[in-house]
């Protein structure tokens, strides 16, 4: 594969307005999230906290990581980046970037941008305007678009409605994290439970004197193909993707199977039917698919975790299906078609309205799983700078969700023995011929930098060597006492 720049290349969202808040986030709050120095001591149990180095999960980018026994969130180390710290010499950053490009597996082709956050000074720009396959670094852009449209506190609603004549319709609202049983308010996956919804619906039906219903499923929120271009059989069999649906239990994951559900919406409806039966409601006949009647009355509803927490989970675990859902719901909230194509257009439209340069970007999915996606290193760093500008508090969960080098998420087993450990937060990205790393690092001098590095077009089989070279570059950036 040649370098990407050289290839041709419902109700849930109605009336949602993009939220632009004028108030600024105190700089110290942002520093607490972005600087991870304390996290290293925390993880080693040298200081009280929530991180741990036990049972690190292996890198599987852009594929989803297994869920940790307890979600790791709210990582806010008390050390702050020093705004008075010296800015690294551009010549040093250029040198290590030239060394990266000169390594054999990369064939001189990577793109990289490094920016000093406090001053906005660009320290290196290599192939910055070229369009690359971003892999899962794309998830940063998708998360920001969803947060801009809905706000970090938004929750997606799953409801059941009735027509008063014994017909109950389960209406999908974009929550793929439902539990089949009771919900757990402390969880992201499993926050809302279909058993809780069934309990409310059963109470409403009993008030109507009904104990028997026919169940329908309204999963019309999403449209278009269920699989994106360049998603292959291995992506489905490995559980990295599934046919997209606007409702699912446990993100479509099936107990005892790597592959996910082939009809997650129907599986959710069947789980809901069982929950209704457990409440003493008879469900007659087979479940049918039908759009809910406009005049239907709500019988019950449950809500997902807050969007900020979903974003945190999605970025930390590189969860492809949730990222695709964020793209689809961005389309719903901006009156685009809620398809793969519509989601890509919606995300780029929101980013453009935020002032980012999307002129060279092309999205055929919103997880980065497709090798047909294209973004520039400049776009990635422009987005990261918005996270730190203090004027977009809704993006704090993006900073918080980026995995910490050597400690958690998809970086738990990478950059774990050097200057970057605990001091770098970044979104990883890995496909057969694409490697990316995009995020923030605090240098040895205490200066906070935003960066993006992307490599494409290397020979199949060299992905490990390329990723190692990128990690070495990131480690050199973190080690910079180079003022």
What positions carry a catalytic annotation? 136, 139, 318
Beta strand ranges found along 12-118 (DSSP E): 111-116
- Whether the CB-CB separation of 409 and 73 falls below 8 Å is answered with no
SS3 at position 159: strand
SS3 at position 171: strand
For residue 38, what is the enclosing H or E element?
helix 37-43
181: nearest Cα among 249, 254, 251 = 249
DSSP letter string, 112-127 = EEEEETTT--EEEEES
- Euclidean distance between CA atoms 18 and 150, whole angstroms: 6
DSSP state of 88: P
The sign of the torsion formed by the CA atoms of 155, 330, 61, 178 equals: positive
- Whether the CB-CB separation of 243 and 263 falls below 8 Å is answered with yes
Residues, the chain: 483
CB atoms within 10 A of CB 209: 6
Helices (H) and strands (E) in the chain, counts: 13, 12
CB atoms within 10 A of CB 27: 14
Pairing of strands 167-171, 212-218: parallel
């Amino acid at each position: 594969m040649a370098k990407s720049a050289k290839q041709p290349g419902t109700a849930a969202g109605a009336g949602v307005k993009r939220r632009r808040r004028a108030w600024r986030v105190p700089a110290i709050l942002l520093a607490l999230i972005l600087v991870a120095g304390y996290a290293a001591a925390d993880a080693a149990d040298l200081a009280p906290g929530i991180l741990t180095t036990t049972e690190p999960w292996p890198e599987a980018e852009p594929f989803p990581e297994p869920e940790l026994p307890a979600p790791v969130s709210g990582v806010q180390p008390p050390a702050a980046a020093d705004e008075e710290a010296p800015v690294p010499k551009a010549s040093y950053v250029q040198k290590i970037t030239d060394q990266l490009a000169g390594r054999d597996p990369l064939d001189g082709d990577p793109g990289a941008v490094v920016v000093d956050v406090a001053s906005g000074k660009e320290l290196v720009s290599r192939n910055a305007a070229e369009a690359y396959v971003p892999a899962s670094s794309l998830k940063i852009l998708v998360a920001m678009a969803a947060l801009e449209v809905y706000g970090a506190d938004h929750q997606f609603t799953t409801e059941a409605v009735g027509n008063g004549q014994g017909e109950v319709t389960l209406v999908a609202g974009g929550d793929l994290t439902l539990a089949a049983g009771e919900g757990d308010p402390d969880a992201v996956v499993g926050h809302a439970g279909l058993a809780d919804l069934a309990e409310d619906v059963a109470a409403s039906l009993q008030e109507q004197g009904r104990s028997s219903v026919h169940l329908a499923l309204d999963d019309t929120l999403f449209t278009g193909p269920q699989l994106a271009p360049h998603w292959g059989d291995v992506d489905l069999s490995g559980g990295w993707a599934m046919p997209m649906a606007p409702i699912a239990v446990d993100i479509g994951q099936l107990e005892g199977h790597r592959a996910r559900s082939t009809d997650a919406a129907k599986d959710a409806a069947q789980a809901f039917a069982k929950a209704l039966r457990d409440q003493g409601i008879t469900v007659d006949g087979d479940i049918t698919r039908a759009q809910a009647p406009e005049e239907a009355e709500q019988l019950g509803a449950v809500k997902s975790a807050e969007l900020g927490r979903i974003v945190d989970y999605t970025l930390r675990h590189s969860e492809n299906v949730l990222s695709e859902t964020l793209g689809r719901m961005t389309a719903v909230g901006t009156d685009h078609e809620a398809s793969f194509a519509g989601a890509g257009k919606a995300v780029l439209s929101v980013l453009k309205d935020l002032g980012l340069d999307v002129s060279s970007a092309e999205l055929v999915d919103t997880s980065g799983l497709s090798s047909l996606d294209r973004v520039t290193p400049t776009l990635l760093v422009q987005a990261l700078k918005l996270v730190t500008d203090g004027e977009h508090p809704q993006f704090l969960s993006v900073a918080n969700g980026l995995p910490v080098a050597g400690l958690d998420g998809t970086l738990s087993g990478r950059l774990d023995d050097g200057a970057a450990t605990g001091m770098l937060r970044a979104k990883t990205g890995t496909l057969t011929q694409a490697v990316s790393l995009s995020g923030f690092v605090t240098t040895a001098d205490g200066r906070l930098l935003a960066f993006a590095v992307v490599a494409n077009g290397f020979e199949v089989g060299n992905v490990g060597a390329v990723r190692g070279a990128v990690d070495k570059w990131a480690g050199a950036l973190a080690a910079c006492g180079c003022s």
